[in-house]
Structure 1
Amino acid sequence: IHCSGWVSALTPLYLRRRYSDDPIFRDSKIVYALQPEKFEGTLDPRFAEKLRMSDFSEEDIAALGSDPVDFATLNRLAIDYADAVIQVTGDVDPVLVEYAKASGKPFLAYEGEEDRVDRYTEFYRSLLGEDDD
């Protein structure tokens, strides 16, 4: 499952914590794509409270911390629940790129547009344990 940018940042959390027993999603691989598009400011101050009201535990949302949720925090949450991360362009926030690399999860860095499709295909196959043959 490919989640692209901050607008999809809650998808990995939901798939791992709410739908992990669903046979459709149980064995899914989640790839979070870091995008350069961002929002300014913070989300509603009750963001974490609303997630708790949706039966997410404190442990589930611990990465949000106690401060208002900003762009970087939301992306870190997505990275935490994804299986792998892709850097879509060269102008992605370098702090998030470093966070993704430090997570120890498979990471595909942006290397330009040339051979992009081939690199993505190889990356996805590696997540599924497939050979190129």
Structure 2
Amino acid sequence: MGKSKLLFITHEMSPFLDLTKISEITRHLPQAMQDKGFEIRILMPRFGNINERRNRLHEVIRLSGMNIIINDNDNPLIIKVASIPAARMQVYFLDNEEYFQRKHVFNDKEGKFYADNDERMVFFCKGAMETVKKLGWSPDIVHCHGWMSALVPAYIKTSYKDDPTFKHSKVVYSIYENSFGEAMSPEFARKAIMSDMDETHVAAFKPGTSDALYAGAIQYSDAVVLGSENISAEVLNNVKNSQKPVLEYSATADFENYYNFYDEIASDELVNVG
């Protein structure tokens, strides 16, 4: 596959933020694929508990300065970058003072799910799309990890489907075990709508539960990865009914299966041309 371009979008990655097993996979999978010749980019939110000084984050002026509109409000997007020297990989962090500058990630100090997690998610997914456009870098494969990236497949297949940056991108979505029991704000689906979209495009997301976010992501993805052993029966049923290529869960740290899966998806693109 040579220099195929592979974009990872995740809400956590070691050593910057370790919440679940996602952080370990998103740390080692990109490096394994880079070692096999892929060109890699990684995007994640700059949550307030990520230490900028220790991780040597610095702002990328040429990428910063965009505004992401949510609910008719302009929200400034600041882009920062850090390197993992041992892996020769750069990670781009999407920052916003109102949404991400908190001591806690998804729940407050009392453990209560943040009321604006819906807007934080929309901001991150929209911001990821615009950041990649501004990078001037067209990914062959976009691999999304975790519930916070669940809107990305929908955006790529609707609002950005004719955009030169994403026009030929294949989308892979990794599903993990349910990570929250709450539901997003009832206004979540409406806030998520972008240009060239209407309510029908976000119908699957509307309940705002973890399972609903996965259902929406599955609907718009080209392929699915089962990233955990403990995935809800409803989600597994959605995956089965989608009849999309699936990479089954594997407890091994060998990423050869991912490489072959990406290869299969990229080859499928060639078969479907025209």
Task: Sort the TM-score into its range (normalised by shorter chain).
Answer: 0.7 to 0.9
Shift of 1:62: 2.4
Q: What does residue range 5-44 of structure 1 map to in structure 2 within 5 Å?
A: 5-44=146-185
Higher deviation after alignment, 36-45 or 56-65? 56-65
1:97 aligns with 2:250: no
Tell me which protein shows more strand as a share of its residues: 2
Q: What is the DSSP-based 3-state SS (H/G/I as helix, E as strand, rest coil) of the residue aligned with 1:3?
A: strand
- Partners of 1:10 and 1:101 in 2: how far apart? 20
Q: What is the DSSP-based 3-state SS (H/G/I as helix, E as strand, rest coil) of the residue aligned with 2:170?
A: coil
**Deviation digits for residues 72-130 of structure 1, max 9, x if unmatched?**
0111000000000000121222321221122011011113215x311111111000118
Q: CA RMSD in A?
A: 1.7
- 1:118 equivalent in structure 2: 256
Q: What is the DSSP-based 3-state SS (H/G/I as helix, E as strand, rest coil) of the residue aligned with 1:61?
A: helix
TM-score of the aligned structures, taking structure 2 as reference length:
0.43
Shift of 1:37: 4.8
Q: Does structure 2 retain, via aligned residues, the 8 Å contact 1:5–1:37?
A: no
Count of residues paired in the alignment: 126
Unaligned runs of 5+ in 2: 1-141, 269-274
Runs ≥4 residues deviating over 2 A: 92-95
Q: Which has the higher contact order (CA 8 A, sep 6+)?
A: 1
- Partners of 2:146 and 2:235 in 1: how far apart? 12
- Partners of 1:43 and 1:59 in 2: how far apart? 18
- 1:127 equivalent in structure 2: 265
Q: Does structure 1 retain, via aligned residues, the 8 Å contact 2:150–2:217?
A: yes
- Letter paired with 2:245: P
TM-score of the aligned structures, taking structure 1 as reference length:
0.85
Q: Does structure 1 retain, via aligned residues, the 8 Å contact 2:178–2:232?
A: no
Shift of 1:19: 0.8
- 1:63 equivalent in structure 2: 204
Shift of 1:29: 0.5
Q: Does structure 2 retain, via aligned residues, the 8 Å contact 1:48–1:61?
A: yes
Q: Does structure 1 retain, via aligned residues, the 8 Å contact 2:151–2:217?
A: yes
Unaligned runs of 5+ in 1: none
